Amino acid sequence: MSNVPGEYRFVTVEKNDQSLSIATGPTPKPAPGELLIGVKAAGLNRADLLQRAGLYPPPPDASPVMGLEVAGEVLAVGEGVTGWQLGDGVCALTHGGGYATCAVAPVGQCLPIPRDFSMGEAAALPEALLTVWHNLFQRCALQAGEKVLIHGGASGIGTLGIRMCKVLGAEVYTTAGTADKCAALEAMGATRAFNYREVDFEEEMTALDLKDRINVILDMAGGDFVQKNITVAAPEGRIVNIAFIRGFEATLNLAPVLIKRLTLTGSTLRAQTFAQKTVMVEEIMETVYPHLESGAIRPVVDSVFPLDEVEQAHERMQGGEHMGKIILQM
């Protein structure tokens, strides 16, 4: 514990106006089964914006500080932890608390930093890795040779998901909001990317003879996309929602769900138990990690902001023009 600072810096949200500021306090200590991480970089997620606005409160046992993923080095290990040494490079899915110079994380949610990854790239991994793995591969059982449609392709989840699915043998289609983003997504492996601001992806896919042929759909849009997803889904198709950016409500014709025997499901990562997330990490280490080590799969980092510019980082995410992950650097 000799290298552990007595105090650390972290981001707070002002209750009156939701502005962000930096505070200091006693450095957290790792509980049994946890690592204390000296944070070098932290990834931003849309959930952080919702938490800041009071729309996604952290669980009672979680840190009130924003931030769900970090990368850095091990400063201390909690009781019962094996396999990690002080100074090891680590990236982790935290239980909150990532917007800080130190953070604790359950050891089962920690991964080694892949070879030749920067701290920023490593911080871009945990939330997207577990989200894609759980929803596409655990929940929807995506198989090599199947067709997958990923909405929000330019997001951190979308960009990593496209590369993961491509490397693991799926045929990938996606949507994004500009022609430049669509071109970039096709360059990184998507068979086709549809600009949803200019075309109706359902009509475009129908014209390409893809109606009733998409096996798995990962949707963070919701709203009017829900019916379109049902239309393009293949018999025995699986559709999973992880957000509803375009709205929680829609008028639907559900007859195709019966006729095509579709599965409609959804999930959030934070609500799942540490044990469930530990299984995700174990499967990722076996199936995906070798492709991270080889460089076949890499996250896309949009921009990097110093911790003191966290307000500007949130503005960048809120504006929706970014591609890939926005990173805070400590």
Which has more confidence, 163 or 1? 163
Distance of CA 80 to the CA centre of its chain: 29
Predicted model pTM: 0.96
Whether 34 shows a pLDDT value over 90: the answer reads yes
Does position 12 have pLDDT exceeding 90, yes or no?
Answer: yes
Question: Would you state the pLDDT for residue 2?
Answer: 55
Alpha carbon distance 116, 96 (integer Å): 27
Of 257 and 1, the structure prediction assigns the larger pLDDT to 257
Q: Kindly state the average pLDDT of the residues 227-247.
A: 97
Specify the domain boundaries for CATH 3.90.180.10 within the chain. Answer: 7-125+299-329
How confident is the model over 282-328, as pLDDT tens digits?
999 999 999 999 999 999 999 999 999 999 999 999 999 999 999 99
| Mean pLDDT within 249-261 | 97
pLDDT of residue 3: 85
How far the first Cα of the chain sits from its last, in Å, is 20
Residues contacting 93, CB < 8 A, separation 6+: 68, 69, 105, 109, 126, 127, 130, 269, 277, 281
What fold, for 7-125+299-329?
Quinone Oxidoreductase; Chain A, domain 1 (3.90.180)
Is a pLDDT exceeding 90 seen at residue 1?
no
Q: Is 137's pLDDT higher than 80?
A: yes
pLDDT digits (tens, 9 = 90+) for 209-220: 999 999 999 999
How far apart, in whole angstroms, are the C-alpha atoms of residue 302 and residue 261?
39
Task: State yes or no: pLDDT of 129 exceeds 80.
Answer: yes
From 3.40.50.150, 3.60.20.10, 3.40.50.720, 3.40.50.300, which CATH number describes the 130-266 domain? 3.40.50.720
Beta strands in 66-197 (DSSP E): 69-77, 89-93, 102-106, 110-112, 147-150, 171-176, 192-195
- Across residues 114-139, what is the average pLDDT? 98
Parts of the chain belonging to CATH 3.40.50.720: 130-266
